[in-house]
Chain A
Amino acid sequence: MVLKVFFPQCCNRADSGLMVGRWIPSHESAVVLAVIHYPFIPGQVKVYLQQMRAQSGVDLCILGSWSLPKEEEEGMESFLQDLSTIFPQRRWLQVRRTLGRTGFTCQVACRDQGEKEKDEEEEKVIFVHYEQKKVMQSQLHPIKESNSQSESELRQVFQTVASSGPLFFMDRYDDGPLKSTHWQTEGREASILVELLRQASTPLCILLTWILTVCTSVCDLRMFRFYPLSFLCSKLSSCVQLSYRAEHMRMLSNRNAAMQHQHFMRKANVLLSVMVDVALGLLLMSWLYRDQNITTLSNTVLPAAHRVAKELEELLQWLMGAPAGLKMNRALDQVLGRFFLYHIHLWISYVQLMSPFIEGLLWYGGLSACLGLSFALSLLSDAVALFTFHIYCFYVYGARLYYLKVYGLSSLWRLFRGKKWNVLRQRVDSCSYDVDQLFIGTLLFTVLLFLLPTTALYYLVFTLLRLLVVLFQGVLHLSVDFINSFPLFAVLLRLLRPYRLAEGVKFRVLCEEEGSALHLLMEMNPLSCSAVVQTYRTPTYSCYPKDSWSALVKKLFVGELIYPWKHKSTKTD
């Protein structure tokens, strides 16, 4: 078996001393975490190790000795060799390096005599050089939370380095009895921004919690529980978006720091997405409130509504005549056409009534964009839904009529052939009808059949209109969904610090010399951008169509009402 020693790059030029680290038993490998320099007192080293073991929870031990002899130190080799008796280990590594040569040599001394007899030849050693800072901060994907011993070797190495934080607190400016070399020897790294954020976060969290409690107490008023308002609130996408963001704020204002990687990434993504959302909303507001844009917009609403009403009236007049050369049933045509025309007349008078208030509404509605662009977009989608309510009504009327007709036709068709639908057995059975039943059934069947083209045409026209509106609303919802779920922090991290999100590692063979062991350099293999987005997407109340295309077409054909954008409730995972 080949012995693998994971050696940190920062210790390549460390002074002679003892190597501290951990053995990974099942894979015949050792991870070197730091080098404690000569001079030291072995008793103090043991005490220090015990302290570190307790603080970090990692099974640290002295792996062996490291010697990089300089001119003055001659007796170093023998001294370090004698140390193997003081620190009892099953295996003792003696790593030697001479200045001027890049390769290390390693000798493994086994404690048990029995093992020594088995391996007559020298044990083969591989030195894997790793950059300690990068390995410590990186996270291997796919993320597994288990802490079992049967994990792969690389995961155990990463875990060992990541949990050994307390070992890296002692730097060379400390006046302690021991001096060690590791990645923070030159001084502990910290960022001013992070420290400032940490200080500012506590009062901010308290403020946020207070605001949220006020808002939730308002929302929990009794009047919102009763049927009309609660139904309305569940249908309006702006209310849904508001509750979704409130959920996020609640998660952010939680003062406990995120312990696990997933939790931390989720918090960071949400925070960044909320900030970008608010920034875009403020940008929209700055455009809206300048140069009388609101007045221009509100002045176009009334003419646009008139135009839409006129187009619809023309459409209905066309249907009431002979549309596309088809001959309609005059009476039904007139009834349906006049009914819909009256509906449009009602709607246009409603819009005219509302017209003086539109500018005010736009002004106050635009203020809501300060909560975020997603909120403004969902408000727009709700406004579109309200303004095209008449199209929705037309669609429902047409669809219901058509559905009843198709249902009646299919049932009477069965009667025409002498069959009946057995509800109990859910199948078609034969049935003997009386003569008068057959007579009336056939009459009704004929009537319905000849009225079918008229109803079908009205249904087709209004379904197409409704689908147009649904498409527009869908685009708005998809963009809101994108703003909600895109993991901006994760993508930025992947672009700026690619070693933090690692898919795996890659090895490179470093230059070899005669007589030295094999040296490899271990680097992080960063995760691809698409995998980053997939892993760290924030779950949303996604509104993807719940029917497949074939089911949708079938529903349209039969006349069932379609609700293509159905909101899923957010479930916390």
Chain B
Amino acid sequence: MMEDETFTDISGKPITLDCHSHSSFCREFNISSPKVSIGKVMVYTCSVWLVAYAVFFFTQNTAFLSSAIIITLVGMMFYIHFVKVDHESLLVIDSLGIQVSSTYASGREITTFIEMSKIKDIVINEAVYMHQIIYYLCVLLKDSSEPSVVSSVVPLFESSKPRLNCLVKVYKSCQEILSKCQ
């Protein structure tokens, strides 16, 4: 069962939430950020090359042109491989655990799996950031030796930063599953 909805993130950009229910105790949530826009890429590339050409025009040194090309290419590769997040997903499986993964624009995937015995709860926290209050979804972890103490907090959807309405939907869905096994 799949559902697709459009929300906005905290800076106003549109994001898509994708809820997929594989079974009654396994759900997957996918939040996709907007893709790299071709217009922006062209603007940046053209400006860098214009500046390099202007410098070349005055100094007649071809090193500026080649270094501009190299910098542009390397910068773009670095950006799509390490910086731009394409989509983030959360997979909740009853009595097995929670899997958090983020995929970058180049296809690189970083996955973390947290076992159910280490999870205390999933909550929505507020944070004060400069002049705004932002809400974020996070997983509270506990140590098996001390089950009543929160040992660490893992924030979810860090790059997509959805707003409260999207978070509430995900939260309600997760709690349906988590409350069954704990």
Q: Which residues of A contact B (CB under 8 A)?
A: 1-2, 4, 27-28, 124, 126, 128, 150, 152-154, 504-507, 509, 512, 518, 520, 525
Q: How far is the CA of A401 from the CA of B117 in the complex (A)?
A: 66
Which chain B residue lies CB-closest to A1? B95
Q: From residue B6, how far is it (CB to closest CB) to chain A in Å?
A: 24
Q: Is the CB of A504 within 8 A of B181?
A: no
Residue in contact with A509 in the complex, picked from B24, B91, B101, B111, CB distance below 8 Å? B91
Q: Is the CB of A509 within 8 A of B28?
A: yes
Q: Given known contacts A509-B28, A512-B23, is B95 in contact with A2 (CB within 8 Å)? A: yes
Q: Given known contacts A506-B99, A507-B93, is B144 in contact with A2 (CB within 8 Å)? A: no
Q: List 12 A-B contacts (CB under 8 A).
A: A2-B25, A2-B94, A2-B95, A153-B115, A153-B117, A507-B93, A507-B99, A507-B113, A509-B22, A509-B26, A518-B23, A518-B26
Contacts of B99 in A (CB 8 A): 506-507
Q: Is the CB of A505 within 8 A of B113?
A: yes
- Asked whether B96 is an interface residue with its Cβ less than 8 Å from the other chain, the reply is yes
Q: Given known contacts A509-B26, A518-B26, A520-B93, is B113 in contact with A525 (CB within 8 Å)? A: yes
Q: Is the CB of A512 within 8 A of B117?
A: no
Q: From residue A134, how far is it (CB to closest CB) to chain B in Å?
A: 16
Q: Is the CB of A1 within 8 A of B117?
A: no
Residue in contact with A28 in the complex, picked from B23, B95, B113, CB distance below 8 Å? B95
Which chain A residue lies CB-closest to B23? A518
Q: From residue A284, how far is it (CB to closest CB) to chain B in Å?
A: 34
Across the A-B interface, give the 4 residue pairs with the lowest CB-CB distance, nearest first: A506-B111, A2-B95, A518-B23, A509-B22
Interface residue total, chain B, C-beta cutoff 8 A: 21
Q: Is the CB of B144 within 8 A of A1?
A: no
Q: Is the CB of A525 within 8 A of B111?
A: yes
Q: Is the CB of B22 within 8 A of A518?
A: yes
Contacts of B28 in A (CB 8 A): 509
Contacts of A124 in B (CB 8 A): 23-25, 94
Contacts of A506 in B (CB 8 A): 99, 101, 111, 113
Residue in contact with A126 in the complex, picked from B93, B115, B117, CB distance below 8 Å? B93
Which chain B residue lies CB-closest to A507? B99
- Asked whether B112 is an interface residue with its Cβ less than 8 Å from the other chain, the reply is yes
Q: Is the CB of B144 within 8 A of A150?
A: yes
Which chain A residue lies CB-closest to B20? A509
Produce 1/0 per residue, B1-42, CB < 8 A to A.
Answer: 000000000000000000000111110100000000000000
Produce 1/0 per residue, B38-66, CB < 8 A to A.
Answer: 00000000000000000000000000000
Q: Is the CB of B113 within 8 A of A4?
A: no
Q: How far is the CA of A536 from the CA of B29 in the complex (A)?
A: 37
Which chain A residue lies CB-closest to B145? A150
Q: How far is the CA of A509 from the CA of B95 in the complex (A)?
A: 15
Q: Is the CB of A504 within 8 A of B113?
A: yes
Q: How far is the CA of A201 from the CA of B56 in the complex (A)?
A: 64
Q: From residue A230, how far is it (CB to closest CB) to chain B in Å?
A: 49
Q: From residue B50, how far is it (CB to closest CB) to chain A in Å?
A: 39
Q: Given known contacts A152-B117, A507-B91, A520-B93, is B181 in contact with A2 (CB within 8 Å)? A: yes
Q: From residue B12, how far is it (CB to closest CB) to chain A in Å?
A: 33
Contacts of B22 in A (CB 8 A): 509, 512, 518
Contacts of B111 in A (CB 8 A): 506, 525
Q: How far is the CA of A506 from the CA of B113 in the complex (A)?
A: 6
Which of B25, B95, B115 has the most C-beta atoms of chain A within 10 angstroms of its own C-beta?
B95
Q: Given known contacts A126-B93, A150-B144, A507-B93, is B181 in contact with A1 (CB within 8 Å)? A: yes
Q: Is the CB of B23 within 8 A of A4?
A: no
Q: From residue B88, how far is it (CB to closest CB) to chain A in Å?
A: 14
- Seed contacts A150-B144, A525-B112; 7 additional CB < 8 Å A-B pairs: A124-B25, A152-B117, A153-B117, A505-B113, A506-B111, A507-B91, A507-B99
Q: From residue B93, how far is it (CB to closest CB) to chain A in Å?
A: 7
Q: Is the CB of A154 within 8 A of B115?
A: yes
Which of A2, A509, A512 has the most C-beta atoms of chain B within 10 angstroms of its own C-beta?
A2
Contacts of A154 in B (CB 8 A): 115
Q: How far is the CA of A126 from the CA of B23 in the complex (A)?
A: 10
Which of B96, B101, B117 has the most C-beta atoms of chain A within 10 angstroms of its own C-beta?
B96
CB contact list, B120-144 vs A, under 8 A? 144
